[in-house]
Amino acid sequence: MKKRPSLVAWLFIVLGTSYFLLPLIATFLFSLRAKKDTLGFTAYQRVFADSSFYATFRFSALMALLTIIASMLLLVPTVYWAYLRHPRLHRLIELVSLMPFVIPPIVLVFGLIKSYSRPPVILVQSRGLLIAGYMVLTLPYMYRAIDAGLRATNVKTLTEAAQSLGAGWPRIIWQVIVPNIRGALVNGAFLTFATVLGELTLAQYLAWPAFGPYLARISQNKAYEPAALTIISFALTWVIFGIVLLVNSKDQQQTQFGGTH
Amino acid sequence: MAEQASERGRGAQSPHLGLRRINWSWLGTVPFFLFACAFLLLPSASLVIGSFQDNQGNFTLQNITDLSQPSIVNAYLLSMKVSGVTALLGTLVGGLLAWAMVLGRLPRFVRAFLIPFSGVASNFAGVPLAFAFIATLGRVGFVTVLLKDLGFNLYDKGFNLYSFWGLSATYLYFQIPLVVLILTPAFEALRPQWREAAESLGASGGYYWRSVALPILTPALLSTVVLLFGNAFGAYATAYALTGGSLNIVPIMIGAQIQGDILHNPNLGYALAFGMMLIMTFVLVLYSWLQRRSARWLQ
């Protein structure tokens, strides 16, 4: 009796799976109907022929990359340093990294606009502010990834070994610490990429021609293209998480998930 | 803890060196805290301060009391209703799925598919998610048309995708998979020995679940509900893309306030955001308290 698969369990899985697959199937079928009375990929062709699709995608991908680089430059040395020298600061950094949970994107962008749209510091027209906002938005995920990576590494021993061989701080971080937490960094990077790529709230209110606002505009004005774009987005998310899972199965690390909705 | 102790030990041996090192080590974290002050603390603090100021910048509590006007109270109530309903339903459905997957003795491919799929689906939100639901349950959506052909008109029966239940059904699409990811380890942590011990003492399956498994799982289940509540409460993009701003939840109201001062009082807008931050803080504190409790048993 113990070995028999439970019928109730099957029922739950089948019902759950159909709730998840139905919208995807519906969207896919819808995306094929752009031409009257025939099924075909016309909607996809139109999307790929649209120059603002590429322009906005490129913009968001670039912002995502810059966010990842800036986040890592800021967080890796900080968290490493806290691990090495300041266990108490470590708590404080952890607390700060949880703060974005308290400030949803719409509140964050509201605060950023209020703080930086009038003298003394005007930043609302700078890409820097958008990137800073994205860094805040993805801080919990990036911090947790780096923290998990460092926890699994013997930071103290590695540092002392490198120091006794005469390595300086930049070299220790770049050539000893970073290679040891590579899996964690890839994890954080892709999660950040997935979050920033389709992000709507910050991009919209800071008025940037990003992919999220483009998706929103198209879905208000067109019928079949947004269906095609939805399928493309879903496939992209799969690709990104496929890479994360692949990297993690190699590094035997726990995958974390999260994002903004 | 061990690190702390050895750090102190070394400091005691050479107080001079220790003092100098502490000065330096502060510097290492300065960029991070500067960043946090500029883009996390300052924006949120300026909203909090703004909610206690009038248009001339004088201190007032008027904005806070003005939050009690019906349109704002209704927005908070609707937000809480959507978050509460999707948190409870999401935990229930996601919990059943996680249970089926972990303890249902199903073939391995179920899990191999469901876990990565949950990872993707919990991140599939915003405009694409909204559109997927429009294509499914909108007025000419796949399921709507299918049901109509079978003689059942959803929209005549009072369903509307662009209303409370429609938004909730859409939010559940990222809420349920999140639960699957969170609760799978919790179900895995239920040791078979506990069940065997209960059974050898004569407990039935139902008795084991009521008296052993559920009490152990309760903190994890509650913390999941709380996390989901926060997850839905702060969501803006999905709601905006689905309803175009017609459904009056708090994030949508804040968005409209940023765009065009719909409240005719910027400071009341700040108070609106402040209220949201308060609720999210409460959610986070409750969540971490429950997390600590559930960590006691589920390791």
Pair B32, B103 in one domain: no
Contact A216 B240 (CB under 8 A): yes
Is residue A33 assigned to a domain?
A: no
Q: How many domains does chain A have?
A: 1
Q: Per-residue pLDDT for B14 more than 50?
A: no
Taking the model in full, what pTM does it have? Answer: 0.88
Q: How far apart are CA B22 and CA B20, in angstroms?
A: 5
- Contact between A29 and A231 (Cβ < 8 Å): no
Does B203 map to a domain? yes
Q: Determine how many CB atoms are found less than 10 A away from the CB of residue B135.
A: 28
Q: Are residues B39 and B121 in the same domain?
A: no
* Same domain membership, residue B240 and residue B146: yes
Mean pLDDT of B246-275: 91
Q: Is it the case that residue B17 has pLDDT exceeding 70?
A: no
Mean pLDDT of chain A: 88
Q: CA–CA separation, B119 vs A51, rounded Å?
A: 31
| A182-196 mean pLDDT | 89
- In this predicted structure, what is the pLDDT of residue A133? 96
In a domain, B58, yes or no: no
- What ipTM does the predicted assembly reach? 0.87
Question: The domain spanning residue B217 has which CATH number?
Answer: 1.10.3720.10
Q: Which residues lie closer than 8 Å to B8 by C-beta, 6 or more apart?
A: none
Strand, coil or helix: what is A160?
helix
Give the range of the structural domain holding residue B28, as residue numbers without chain letter: 2-50
Segment A205-234 mean pLDDT: 91
pLDDT digits (tens, 9 = 90+) for B166-211: 999 999 999 999 999 999 999 998 888 888 899 899 888 889 998 8
Domain identity same for B221 and B131: yes
* A4 inside domain: no
Average the pLDDT over B62-84 and give the result: 94
The answer to whether the CB atoms of B47 and A110 lie below 8 A apart is yes
pLDDT of residue A111: 95
Q: How confident is the model at residue A16 (pLDDT cuts 50, 70, 90)?
A: very high
Residues B46 and B73 placed together within one structural domain of the fold: no
Residue B109 clears pLDDT 60, i.e. is over it: yes
What pLDDT is attached to residue B82?
96
Is a pLDDT exceeding 90 seen at residue A146?
yes
**Greater model confidence, B285 or A120:** B285
pLDDT reported for residue B298: 63
Place A4 in a pLDDT band, splitting at 50, 70 and 90. Answer: low
Residue A159 has pLDDT above 70, yes or no: yes
Count structural domains, chain B: 2
pLDDT over threshold 60, residue B2: no
B75 and chain A in contact, CB less than 8 A: no
Over the stretch A67-82, which tens digit does the pLDDT of each residue have?
999 999 999 999 998 8
pLDDT digits (tens, 9 = 90+) for A85-111: 888 888 899 999 989 989 999 999 999
Whether residue A60 is contained in a domain is answered as: yes
Which positions in chain A touch B178 (Cβ < 8 Å)? 257
B281 with A102: Cβ contact below 8 A: yes
In this model, does residue B299 exceed pLDDT 70?
A: no
Contacts of A108 in chain B (CB under 8 A): 43-44
My answer on whether B77 and B170 are in the same domain is: yes
Res. B3: pLDDT tops 60: no
Query: B29 and B126 in one domain?
Result: no
pLDDT in tens, A174-186: 889 999 998 889 8
pLDDT band at A250 (very low <50, low <70, confident <90, very high): low
B41 and B77 together in one domain: no
Q: How far apart are CA B212 and CA B198, in angstroms?
A: 8
Is the CB of residue B83 less than 8 Å from the CB of residue B233?
yes
Question: What CATH code is carried by the domain that includes residue A151?
Answer: 1.10.3720.10
Buried b or exposed e, range A81-100, using 16+ CB within 10 angstroms: bbbbbbeebbeebeebbbbb
Tokens representing B161? 């995708």
How far, CA to CA in Å, does B33 sit from each of A173, B26, B61, B76? 20, 10, 31, 33
Residue B19: inside a domain? yes
Residue B76 sits in the same domain as residue B46? no
Q: Provide the residue range defining the domain that includes A158.
A: 42-250
pLDDT at A258 over 60: no
Q: Is the pLDDT of residue B1 over 50?
A: no
Q: What is the pLDDT of residues B18-32, one digit of tens each?
A: 444 445 667 778 999
For B251, the closest of A8, A88, A106 (CB atoms) is: A106
What value does the CA radius of gyration of chain B take, rounded to a whole number of Å?
A: 25
A103–B280 CB contact, under 8 Å: yes
A108-142: pLDDT as tens digits: 999 999 999 887 888 888 899 999 999 999 999 89
Backbone angles phi, psi at A119, to 5 degrees: -55, 155
B110, B114, B124, B204: which to substitute to probe chain A, counting the most A Cβ within 10 Å?
A: B124
